[in-house]
Structure 1
């Protein structure tokens, strides 16, 4: 989901090594990646530019020289990317990584991965790891043997980070407000079309107006109703870009898509869409044809 207004530009690339994948996301806008992580899925993510102003993981501040995302108890991804950032994420399964730790004689490192989601590194170690991951993305291996070798090298590097005397695992403990913000985002994605007041939403989430407003402003620099509008705009944008999704919902015109996503005023919708995506909804629709 695009959180900041303006034309979106960036790049996504991925290298699949078999039991492990490396992906890179660069963006000129603030983005929120939200959804299920997958069964037994874990990740090791870092940001390579130092641009972590709006970077968040599970609503927690992102430290510039750190690895995130490896907590094995997490079932949901809630990852916010800063404008101008480049994030590299290594994805594997907890079973595969735990088997590697056990096979190499470090099964005692599994327990800390259940209680932490952030490993602070020194700048030099962080830079070496970022360069190693970047090399995989720039020069993907072309044979199964090379893939296995690269996988082993990356696993060994993550192990070295966990054992580094300068590395520091932070306890993973979400505040009630951080949990509330994530719950509100989930609610918003599932109920964006529902026309409710802020007080009615707070009743459904069993929270107060003040707590919800403070939580969304801390994380997204906007109030809950503005964030809900952004969610709706993103859902409109996704439908306008996908003829297959529009056909599935029986939608063809911009006005039908807007109404389907909960917008009642054409003029208000068109202005909000133009401001957020820097183009008219009709332009998005025509480009998808």
Structure 2
């Protein structure tokens, strides 16, 4: 049939594109991972690196998302997008993980004369129940266990 829509160049091109996308993204193959990796740049944007460095240096201070965005020289929305796209997390979750690492280091190296509560408060964890849950999820043990059986 000469009047069939596939005989029109625009329709044929669209059909071809849909078919290729369906095959590449709809079926298991080794090309899909390469395409997804190629679409994401490998290097972090400057504002993400700058924010990470700032958070590492100031993790012991109260930080807000607005302060982090201002320091990075971008909007809050851009900062969130950068962390989502390049770190698979949010800026505040990244900061929380940095602080959890610091708590873990202190609990591992301190003597028995310190309390988990004092160290948690020092690193900005005000809700101790949530802190203990996050700590256990991250390190596989309760904070008190780390303090008791430090290496």
Structure of greater Rg: 2
Which residue is 1:178 aligned to? 45
Runs of at least 5 residues in structure 2 that lack an aligned partner in the other structure: 1-40
Q: Tell me which protein shows more strand as a share of its residues.
A: 1
What RMSD in Å do the two structures reach over aligned CA positions? Answer: 2.6
1:195 alignment partner, one of 38, 62, 79: 62
Structure 2 residue 150 is the aligned partner of structure 1 residue 288: yes
Which residue is 1:264 aligned to? 126
TM-score normalised per structure 1 = 0.36
Mapped to 2, the partners of 1:193 and 1:260 lie a distance apart of: 7
| Native 8 Å contact 2:51 2:71 kept in 1 | no
Which residue is 1:210 aligned to? 77
For residues 1-289 of structure 1, what are the structure 2 equivalents within 5 Å?
61=42, 178-243=45-110, 252-288=114-150
Runs of at least 5 residues in structure 1 that lack an aligned partner in the other structure: 1-59, 62-173
Mapped to 1, the partners of 2:104 and 2:84 lie a distance apart of: 24
Mapped to 1, the partners of 2:150 and 2:136 lie a distance apart of: 17
| Native 8 Å contact 2:60 2:122 kept in 1 | yes
| Native 8 Å contact 2:47 2:73 kept in 1 | no
- Give the C-alpha shift of residue 220 in structure 1: 1.9
- Give the C-alpha shift of residue 184 in structure 1: 1.2
- What is the number of residues matched between the two proteins? 114
Q: 1:59-102 CA deviation, whole Å, 9 max, x = no partner?
A: x63xxxxxxxxxxxxxxxxxxxxxxxxxxxxxxxxxxxxxxxxx
Point out 4+ residue stretches in structure 1 off by more than 4 angstroms: none
- Give the C-alpha shift of residue 287 in structure 1: 1.3
- Give the C-alpha shift of residue 198 in structure 1: 1.0
The 10-residue stretch of structure 1 (270-279 or 226-235) with the greater mean CA deviation from structure 2: 270-279
Mapped to 1, the partners of 2:64 and 2:52 lie a distance apart of: 16
TM-score normalised per structure 2 = 0.66
Which residue is 2:23 aligned to? none
